[in-house]
Structure 1
Amino acid sequence: MSYTVEERGDLHSLTYRLFYKNADGKVVSPFHDIPMYADEGQNIFHVVIEVPRWTNAKMEISTTEPLNPVKQDVKKGKVRYVANVFPHKGYIWNYGAIPQTWEDPTHKDPDTGHVGDNDPIDVCEIGSKVCSRGEVIKVKVLGILAMIDEGETDWKVIVINVDDPEAKDLNNISDVKRLKPGYLDATVDWFRRYKVPDGKPENQFGFNGEFKDKDFAIETIKTTNKFWKALISQQAKPGELNCMNTTISPEDSPCHVSVDQAKAIIEKVCLLIFWFYCLKLSVCVVCL
């Protein structure tokens, strides 16, 4: 299944949104409707790329908005960017998330001793290609890092695009250590310090900052998928999360909507964002 994106609003502004459609032209949520597996038998997963390598804009799946478009994170009314922390430039991998996963904020992880961060599980794709914002790729899992962010478990899965020239040689985290010397150390360093320029303390890590292997990573992903299934069926309390979807059966998800409803919702959301942005800037729409 292939996916396309539709941009709305202005890039690097409060209005920017990236909505998704599947190969049939049906509007879908990148959080709920894109399957976790691209090939379950081969343990190949889908990843939604939020931030291309070397860029700084903090893009993310909006878990609280209808149909969960990708948008730029906002703090104190301004769009967010990560600082360049020497010697790194922006994000040092293609950064994204695995759909149909959720780190449950009520579940204390037995390995880290901390609850989940209320988001889909994060991914660092380490191949040679710089991906496009919003691109949906197929990856194989290599390992995982347990970051502790302000008292929450925030797993970082290390993957590689199955179409990357290096993919045939990278099959586990030990291969990354051997063939990409220094890359994993740089990854820990980046995650440890990237919030320091914003006045926050360094992040901490489970397992003393050591990466766990492929098998551990896959089991962790499967656990977050179980949490997501409880979320989408409303067995778990969603809080502010928006579970609207177009492909999960109504029997399995009370938040299912039709394609026509989804299209109407997108138009309404975009209009509301536009008006809010105009009011925020105290600009008359007629003058734009």
Structure 2
Amino acid sequence: MSFSLEERGNPNSLSYRLFLKNAEGKYVSPFHDIPMYADKNQNIFHMVVEVPRWTNAKMEIATKDLLNPIKQDVKKGKLRYVANVFPHKGYIWNYGAIPQTWEDPAHKDGDTGCCGDNDPIDVCEIGSKVCSRGEVIKVKVLGILAMIDEGETDWKVIAINVEDPEASDLNSISDVRRLKPGYLKATVDWFRKYKVPDGKPENKFAFNEEFKDKDFAIEVIENTHNFWKDLISKKASAGELNCKNTCVSGCDSPYFCSGDEAKAAVAETCPCGKEEPIPSSVDRCFFYEK
């Protein structure tokens, strides 16, 4: 299964959007139309890369927009960048989401005691390759971290690209501890502190900051897939989420988006233009000690 990308608007600006197309050239939603599993028998999942490693722009699947393109998060009218909290530079993994999953904000998790964050489940891909924004890769799940972000459950799946040279050696969270010493500790440190430069408190974690194993992670992912199925079948309230899709729903569904409707939606956005400069403040290093 292959996908291509179409950029619209000016990169590094409020107008920028990244739309996905399937192999037939049909516009697709990275939230709804890409299958969760790449190979169910082998527990291989699709991952949509939102943020390449070492970059700072907080790109994300626009869950409230038609076709859910990837765009940069905005706060108080300005593009959002994550701070470099020493010793980290930008995101320390390829960061993205598993399609056809949803952390239901109406569901209180039995383990964390908190409701979901209303987004697809997040993935930290820890391989050696720096991926590209919008790339759809196949990943092997290794474990999961339960972050509590301002009172919401925000799972972080730890995974590796199956095509990465290191993939055959990494099959569990204990393999990550053994072969990439310090990486999991750095991951907790990154998520704990990354909002502090913006005036937010440190994030908390369930399970005493421990990573749960692969089987636990797969169960969590499958639960979020079931929440997504309730969402797309109107058994759960969508709220402000845009559930329009071009491949999943039948033509009689209110969530079905025709090819003409999809093309018209993309045409309404700005054509791809000149890249805007990234503010110099993004390279600042923030030193923080509790």
Q: Please indicate the TM-score interval, normalised by the length of the shorter structure.
A: over 0.9
1:267 Cα deviation from its structure 2 partner? 1.5
Q: How does 1:226-265 map to 2 (within 5 A)?
A: 226-250=226-250, 253-265=253-265
- What root-mean-square deviation, in Å, do the aligned CA atoms of Structure 1 and Structure 2 show? 1.3
8 Å contact from structure 2 (residues 249, 255) kept in 1 = no
Letter in 1 for 2:195: K
Q: TM-score, normalised by structure 1?
A: 0.93
SS of 1:87's equivalent in the other structure is coil
TM-score relative to the length of structure 2? 0.92
Q: Percent identity?
A: 77
Segments of 4+ moved more than 4 angstroms: none
1:219 to 2:226 alignment: no
In the alignment, which residue of structure 2 is the partner of 1:210? 210
Quote how far apart the aligned CAs of 1:190 are. 0.2
AA partner of residue 137 (structure 1): I
SS at match of 2:85: coil
1:212 partner SS: coil
Gap regions ≥5 residues in structure 1: 275-288
User: Hey, what's the Cα distance between the residues in 1 that align with 2:238 and 2:16?
Assistant: 25
Residue deviations 1:244-270, cap 9 Å, x none? 1000132795301211221112222x1
Q: Deviations over 1:25-70 (max 9, x none)?
A: 0110000000000011111000000000000000000000000000
- Figure out how many residues of one structure are paired with residues of the other and give that number: 272
2:285 aligned residue: none
What residue is the counterpart of 2:169 in the other structure? 169
Alignment partners' CA distance in 2, 1:70 and 1:102: 16
Deviation readout 1:54-105 (Å, 9 max, x if unpaired): 0000000000000000000000000000000000000000000000000000
> What CA distance in whole angstroms lies between the structure 2 residues aligned with 1:267 and 1:103?
31
Cα distance in 1, alignment partners of residues 223 and 51 from structure 2:
25
- Separation in 2, partners of 1:252, 1:179: 51
Which structure's relative contact order is higher, taking Cα pairs within 8 Å and 6+ residues apart?
A: 2
Q: Say if 2:227 is the partner of 1:197.
A: no
Describe the shift of the 1:42–1:253 C-alpha distance in structure 2 as closer, same or farther (beyond 3 A): farther
Give the structure 2 partner of residue 32 of structure 1. 32
Q: Are the counterparts in 2 of residues 47 and 98 from structure 1 also a CA contact under 8 Å?
A: yes
Whether the aligned pair in 2 keeps the contact of 1:232 and 1:253 (CA below 8 Å) is no
- Give the conservation status (yes or no) of the 8 Å contact 2:46–2:139: yes
In structure 2, stretches of 5+ residues that fail to align are 274-290
Structure (1/2) with the larger helix percentage:
1
